[in-house]
Structure 1
Amino acid sequence: MAPGLPTAMDRPHFIGIGGAGMSGIAKILAQRGARVAGSDAKDSATAEALRALGATVHIGHAAGHLADDASCVVVSSAIRPDNPELVRAAELGIPVVHRSDALAALMTGLRPIAVAGTHGKTTTTSMLAVALSELGLKPSYAIGGDLDAPGSNALHGEGEIFVAEADESDRSFHTYAPEVAIVLNVELDHHANYASMDEIYESFETFAGKIVPGGTLVIAADHEGARELTRRLAGSVRTVTYGEAADADVRILSVVPQGLTSEVTVVMDGTELTFTVSVPGRHYAHNAVAALAAGAALGVPAARLAPALAAYTGVKRRLQLKGEAAGVQVIDSYAHHPTEMTADLEAMRGAAGDARILVVFQPHLFSRTQELGKEMGQALALADASVVLDIYPAREDPIPGVTSDLIIEAARSAGADVTPLHDKAEVPEAIAGMAEPGDLVLTMGAGDVTDLGPRILDRLSK
């Protein structure tokens, strides 16, 4: 049976409660019986899902939203020090808890699997959550995206396993002490917090060092950054590698595309297993094998877990089909790093056959664009045509000279057909003028570009 409420979290107040990571923790606490409250900048389906669980959700940030008897205030690294609710918490002497510490407290007494890596965390965490649930193991989980409905990013389960996405962006994944950890890949990202690959490696080494004695690190064998991390760890933790490399412990023999699914064959402990991955793309097949290896490390029989992985059919914003109008399919992609963009575009190219692929791309963060704008532009050359929007700032202030032009120039240099647009309201009309029956349209990025899918479909239907 899963444990109850962590100490001092029976009356939590979340600043930014509607965010992917924050809302999941709030949901689990509400399901464990806490009196949950919080605020967010705007209303959302996620906020409404939390209200349905009994949470109080305020829209906007104001000191008066914080109850005097709140037991703690939960924040993420995105919350600024001058937030009025945070200032009020200091006045009242209410403890402030980082999101990662709250999540770590929820995992106490359970058997955690922490999923880390520069890319693929949400998908892999979701695959594990769905497959373990399919087997009746009733896991708890906290994911950075919704599975099938608003608020489905987390669940308080009755079983002993807790699957959690472990975020490296602000080093908060150092808080966790997993029984099994996954590292999918290691690349330089989050440039506001990491100045070099050495800093990235050091951070992932610290994360791996938090694995409990007797635990297991599942790590990619095909990714150079992951291999370098394995070399640096030098046997300090039990390691299981996976991938297509000849020396992988769980070796992928083949990934055979079958429309929007793949058939994957692996050799594991001398036994050959073939199973279906119900989403397209080689990188998703690799994520599924990482999930398989992690479940096996926790003692779940691979022969049972492999077929259960087919129950995973996607997560919102990860190549999610938003709809079809006038013979044009509109698909939403969360990809915002060049590696992710390339992987999703290659997956769609493999699934689309001769169909044209049109992309509406919104860069995410000035710092990321400054460092990786050229590579983003090169990735867009894989599409038949692209619309590039202004940078979505999220938590950052502008950087002089850093605009979407960095991406557009690189894309054009790579031979891409790119149209810059500064006003998102113009996108549906622009796509309607470009798209033809049979085309695929991808809205791509980690910002509010996701809101454009329904508007594009509405315009196409007229």
Structure 2
Amino acid sequence: MASAIPTAMERPHFIGIGGAGMSGIAKILAQRGAQVAGSDAKESATAEALRALGATVHIGHAAEHLADDATCVVVSSAIRADNPELARAAELSVPVVHRSDALASLMGGLRAIAVAGTHGKTTTTSMLAVALTELGLDPSYAIGGDLEGPGTNARHGEGDIFVAEADESDRSFQKYDPEVAIVLNVELDHHANYASMDEIYDSFETFVGKVRPGGTLVIAADQPGAVELTKRVRDLSSLNVVTYGESETADVRVHKVTPRGLTSEVTVLLNGKFLTFTVSVPGRHYAHNAVAALAAGVALGIPAHNLASALGKYTGVKRRLQLKGEAKGVQVIDSYAHHPTEMTADLEAMRGAASDARLLVVFQPHLFSRTQELGKEMGEALALADLSVVLDIYPAREDPVPGVTSALIIDAAKAAGATVTAVHDKSTVPDVVAGMAAPGDLVLTMGAGDVTDLGPAILARLSN
């Protein structure tokens, strides 16, 4: 088993160390004994967690934050070229390493499972991390969200398995060479980096082509983009392809998904035998994620019945239909969904879990580019809710695009028959929701930005 620190990573400096992907790598390096330092735009619980592991975390970006003896500077694609710490790295001739290269170096020598797809990566990676830990295999993992159980997005384990979320957004997943690759779905997203589905397919083909000789691709049998990708990679002679889903031709067939309130019971047909287990989150899409995790574990040689039982210990990831609390008979749930497919899946899951409840959604669009390309579909997804509140676009790393506002979503939602309220001042949302909600309702805060902060504020307002 390899767990040594690469020489270039002995004293790394992370720009944007508080980010989901960056913080995970920093945590693993700190746990392996590296002298980790970095900077982030604002104070956070993640920064405190890193400090608890011995890392030095600066708030704000400044050239003097980069130590003279740093062995490398780690960046993500979100870091702009004019960052002062990057400029200082150039002055000192300190190598600049992309986040994906840093993660690839940590997986070296280990049995890696890389989880890819337009949606569901964080959940599936988390399911595997929890199940493998439950089985005593002590895996390492790097996830794009915090587990509710361990309370962290990454860990260095002493076992020989490394489970990693593989991000297609900037093609960085092409850096990995896993023993097992999972592809959950293939859709057009990340419009600033991909101009067409052909570019998306080419990118995923490159990722799959990096699977180690004799390794396995676990891929969805039902989703059209995944089916097309399977056709494109079937001829790779060194690749074992395992399909999963409800299709009669699937190698691991989802026989039945039975909703049980906020959980599901899943029955699969695997190697001619039926196997039933519980998934402790609602929704058919989460059940499929669990089956993908099951198939990947079996590809590594883990007994299916052991893994199925362990998958039942997974209780969710923060921001993936996470119950934030209840006040005055109103439950508030948080969803990270920001692409129309994700939005539709989570809204349908909540409908299935509480069919008699009214569903109120507070949606914050994420990125101007995504809203420009998919605003109509986002609005149509919101028609699944009884009432919707739509906020202004969360820009993240992007600059505004003329003419691209939340109005694109609101107009589409109204055209689809939705009841929508536009709110431009986020601080007023708790009052707006309190004026709409009644006992028995479900309130869903939805989006990849800071809309997640509204959950506690809505609960407090309802309580008062």
- Same fold by TM (over 0.5)? yes
- Is the 1:432–1:460 Cα contact (8 Å) retained in structure 2? yes
For structure 1, which runs of at least 5 residues remain unmatched after alignment? Answer: none
- Is the 1:46–1:150 Cα contact (8 Å) retained in structure 2? no
SS in 1 for 2:444: strand
- Is the 1:322–1:331 Cα contact (8 Å) retained in structure 2? yes
Asked if residue 325 in structure 1 is aligned to residue 327 in structure 2, the reply is yes
CA deviations over 1:185-207 (Å, ceiling 9, x no partner): 00000000000000000000000
Q: Which residue of 1 aligns with 2:139?
A: 139
- Is the 1:2–1:158 Cα contact (8 Å) retained in structure 2? no
CA deviations over 1:181-230 (Å, ceiling 9, x no partner): 00000000000000000000000000000000000000000000000000
Q: TM-score, normalization: structure 1?
A: 0.99
The 2-side partners of 1:434 and 1:7 are apart by 57
Q: Which residue of 1 aligns with 2:430?
A: 428
SS in 1 for 2:7: coil
Q: Which residue of 1 aligns with 2:314?
A: 312
Q: What's the CA shift for 1:262?
A: 0.7
SS in 2 for 1:311: coil
One-letter code of the match for 2:179? Answer: E
SS in 2 for 1:137: coil
CA deviations over 1:62-85 (Å, ceiling 9, x no partner): 001110100100000000000000
- Is the 2:266–2:276 Cα contact (8 Å) retained in structure 1? yes
Q: Which residue of 2 aligns with 1:148?
A: 148
Q: What's the CA shift for 1:433?
A: 0.2
Q: Which residue of 1 aligns with 2:80?
A: 80
Asked if residue 365 in structure 1 is aligned to residue 367 in structure 2, the reply is yes
The 2-side partners of 1:306 and 1:28 are apart by 27
The 1-side partners of 2:454 and 2:63 are apart by 33
One-letter code of the match for 1:169? Answer: S
For structure 2, which runs of at least 5 residues remain unmatched after alignment? Answer: none
The 2-side partners of 1:149 and 1:120 are apart by 18
The 1-side partners of 2:132 and 2:212 are apart by 21
After superposition, residues 279-428 of structure 1 pair within 5 angstroms as 279-428=281-430
Asked if residue 193 in structure 1 is aligned to residue 193 in structure 2, the reply is yes
The 2-side partners of 1:436 and 1:151 are apart by 32
One-letter code of the match for 1:328? Answer: V
Structure 1 residues 151 and 88: alpha-carbon distance in aligned structure 2, compared to 1, 3 A threshold: farther
Q: Which residue of 2 aligns with 1:16?
A: 16
One-letter code of the match for 1:8? Answer: A
Q: Which residue of 1 aligns with 2:61?
A: 61
One-letter code of the match for 1:6? Answer: P
The 2-side partners of 1:44 and 1:227 are apart by 41
Q: Identity over aligned residues, as a percent? A: 82
Q: Which residue of 1 aligns with 2:214?
A: 214
The 1-side partners of 2:268 and 2:307 are apart by 13
One-letter code of the match for 2:205? Answer: E
The 2-side partners of 1:2 and 1:288 are apart by 28
CA deviations over 1:378-406 (Å, ceiling 9, x no partner): 00000000000000001111111100000
One-letter code of the match for 2:452? Answer: T
- Is the 2:149–2:315 Cα contact (8 Å) retained in structure 1? no
- How many residue pairs were aligned? 462
Q: What's the CA shift for 1:169?
A: 0.1
CA deviations over 1:102-155 (Å, ceiling 9, x no partner): 000000010000000000000000000000000000000000000027960000
Q: What's the CA shift for 1:2?
A: 4.3
- Is the 1:279–1:313 Cα contact (8 Å) retained in structure 2? yes
The 1-side partners of 2:119 and 2:39 are apart by 29
Q: What's the CA shift for 1:238?
A: 1.4
One-letter code of the match for 2:170? Answer: D
The 1-side partners of 2:145 and 2:429 are apart by 25
- Is the 1:377–1:409 Cα contact (8 Å) retained in structure 2? yes
One-letter code of the match for 2:180? Answer: V
CA deviations over 1:317-340 (Å, ceiling 9, x no partner): 000011111111111000000000
One-letter code of the match for 1:130? Answer: V
Q: TM-score, normalization: structure 2?
A: 0.99
Q: What's the CA shift for 1:270?
A: 1.1
One-letter code of the match for 2:201? Answer: Y
CA deviations over 1:14-71 (Å, ceiling 9, x no partner): 0000000000000000000000000000000011000000101000000011101001
One-letter code of the match for 1:127? Answer: M
- Is the 1:142–1:163 Cα contact (8 Å) retained in structure 2? yes
SS in 2 for 1:8: helix
- Is the 1:45–1:150 Cα contact (8 Å) retained in structure 2? no
- Is the 2:29–2:36 Cα contact (8 Å) retained in structure 1? yes
- Is the 2:139–2:159 Cα contact (8 Å) retained in structure 1? yes
One-letter code of the match for 2:106? Answer: L
One-letter code of the match for 1:182? Answer: I
